[in-house]
Amino acid sequence: METGTGRPRLLGDRYRLVSVKERDGRGVIWRAHDLRLRRDVAIKEIRPRFHADGAGLDDARRRAMREARSAGRLSHPAVVAVHDLLEEGGRLWIVMELVEALTLEETVGHLGHLPVHWTAWIGFRLLGGLRHAHGAGVLHRDINPGNILLTGERVVLSDFGIAALNGDPSTSSTVPVHCAPAYVAPERLRGRPANPAADLWSFGASLYFAVEGRPPYPGAHALEVLGQAMTRDPDPPVKAGPLGRVLRGLLRRAPEERITADHAARLLSKILRMEGVSVDPPGSRPRGSLPTRSPCSAV
């Protein structure tokens, strides 16, 4: 049986596609049901935009599948779990944990901006997942406010491995066309390979957006933003308070001058303690929910 758009209703003889949950520049996210384990899941349908052909395309697809499987081995509360990966009907399908949440982008859209203590808490939790991934040799490549999910008790980074599926992974310097330039590290825009420091830039740019209420490079058009991102430092933050030190350290244009994830975690932990928010030691599994002081009170 097929959906009204010609897609299979039953995927891999196991996953029943129920409804479209979301559409974005990277593909379609379906709400689905796993008939074998009797649980609801999210499935991302991707039509890869590889720039190779023939044998090159086959090699690119193999590399993409291998990278996505590596992401599937990650296990951390701050990372959306990947359950399965399939290739069917000329498309790639990633079966993931279903997380009911608002994105950071949606939350800031509702509130205008987030207070320092809440932004620091989000950053501290996200860093736990990012450090776990980097320790396993997995890069994200597309951290931005639309990929950061807030459930009330969890802060979750989604779409690990999907950036590689949208571009040609045969060259690690490729920036997928859907990536927002304001959240891509300057060295990647200049064609240098992705690495943990580039992920940290994107992480810092997302925190900048959270606390300032706007991206580090404003502009109505992608080309305008791209021009700024290629040539100058981000605008200095004005609402970040003690977070300013963290943002400046993460958003240094030279990757070798950027602060490390460990350094950023220590700074965020210190800010949270100053704000009276208890945190787990860096590197431990996070527990507890969002800070009790509502972010709405600061908006």
Helix (H) or strand (E) holding 269: helix 261-274
Question: What distance in Å separates the CA atoms of residue 202 and residue 185, rounded to the nearest whole number?
Answer: 6
Q: What is the pLDDT of residue 294?
A: 42
* pLDDT tens string 34-92: 999 999 999 988 765 554 445 555 665 666 676 677 778 889 999 999 898 888 877 78
**pLDDT tens by residue, 153-164:** 899 998 876 655
Active site residues per annotation: 142
Q: Which residue has the tokens 């196991």?
A: 14
Dist. CA 191–CA 174, nearest whole Å: 7
CB 86 within 8 A of CB 93: yes
Q: What is the pLDDT of residues 219-266, one digit of tens each?
A: 767 777 887 888 888 999 999 999 999 999 999 999 999 999 999 999
pLDDT tens per residue, range 179-209: 678 899 999 988 898 899 999 999 999 999 9
| Beta strand 148-150 pairing with 91-97 | unpaired
CATH 1.10.510.10 in the chain, residue ranges? 102-298
φ and ψ of 268, to 5 deg: -65, -40
Using CA atoms, how far apart are residues 93 and 34, in angstroms rounded to an integer? 14
pLDDT given at position 47: 63
List of residues 6+ apart from 263 with CB closer than 8 A: 249
- Provide the pLDDT for residue 281: 64
The CATH superfamily of 10-97 is Phosphorylase Kinase; domain 1 (3.30.200.20)
Which tokens in the block code for residue 14? 């196991």
Three-state secondary structure call for residue 204: helix
Domain covering 102-298, topology: Transferase(Phosphotransferase); domain 1 (1.10.510)
CA atoms within 13 A on the CB side of 229: 27
CA 44 to CA 159: how far, in whole Å? Answer: 9
Q: Where in the chain is the domain with CATH 3.30.200.20?
A: 10-97
pTM: 0.83
